[in-house]
Amino acid sequence: MNLPSQHLVIMGVAGSGKTTTATLLSEHLGWIAAEADEFHSAANIEKMSSGVPLADEDRWPWLTSITEWMSTQAQNGRCTIITCSALKRSYRQVLAQAEGQVHFVHLHGEPEVLAERMQSRRGHFMPASLLPSQLSTLEPLEDDESGITVDILRTPAQISAEILDRLLLPSP
């Protein structure tokens, strides 16, 4: 009997370490990984690059394409890891419709830590000026959602190990 494909959505605001965490988990588990940013339209990227927060209307096609990608991977027997802010419950409800089992991993950090991280990173289109908007939009995971919240004030290896342990995935 084949088990359903699993999908980990590494979520949180900008600067929370989604890419680093997803990379470590992908390397450990051998699951295919993708960045949700790759699914944004050019118009969305231009909007964010100029410091304008996305509206829900901008996000629905983006979230749908991510969900379709996860479902396609599941149809091919693959498990996935995707980085996605998934700030609102309604966004996570769209992502949770993917074929297979979808689990959310919310990387949580204090605003000061997140702002410091965003200011020190290079080569990303998301300016630190959008962090307050993301924080005000963020709806933490609720008890009836499949997922966990992990504090970012540890090393990436420790964060990844906690995720593997809490989701009962194979540990190193």
Domain membership of residue 90 as a residue range? 6-166
Q: Rounded CA gap, 103 and 52, in Å?
A: 29
The answer as to whether 96 is a domain residue is yes
The answer as to whether 171 is a domain residue is no
Q: Rounded CA gap, 75 and 61, in Å?
A: 21
CA distances in angstroms from 93 to 62, 81, 102, listed in the order given: 13, 17, 10
The answer as to whether 134 is a domain residue is yes
The answer as to whether 172 is a domain residue is no
Helix 18-29 and helix 156-166: axis angle, to 10°?
Answer: 60
Q: What local confidence, expressed as pLDDT, does residue 28 receive? A: 95
Predicted confidence (pLDDT) per residue in 41-50, tens digit:
999 988 888 8
Structural domains in the chain (count): 1
Q: What local confidence, expressed as pLDDT, does residue 172 receive? A: 56
Residues of the chain with pLDDT under 50: 1, 124-125
- Which distant-in-sequence residues (6+ apart) come within 8 Å of 7 by Cβ? 70, 73, 74, 79, 80, 81, 82, 98, 100, 101, 102, 103
The answer as to whether 155 is a domain residue is yes
Q: What local confidence, expressed as pLDDT, does residue 111 receive? A: 83
CATH code for the domain in which residue 57 is found? 3.40.50.300
The answer as to whether 108 is a domain residue is yes
Q: What local confidence, expressed as pLDDT, does residue 1 receive? A: 44
The answer as to whether 1 is a domain residue is no
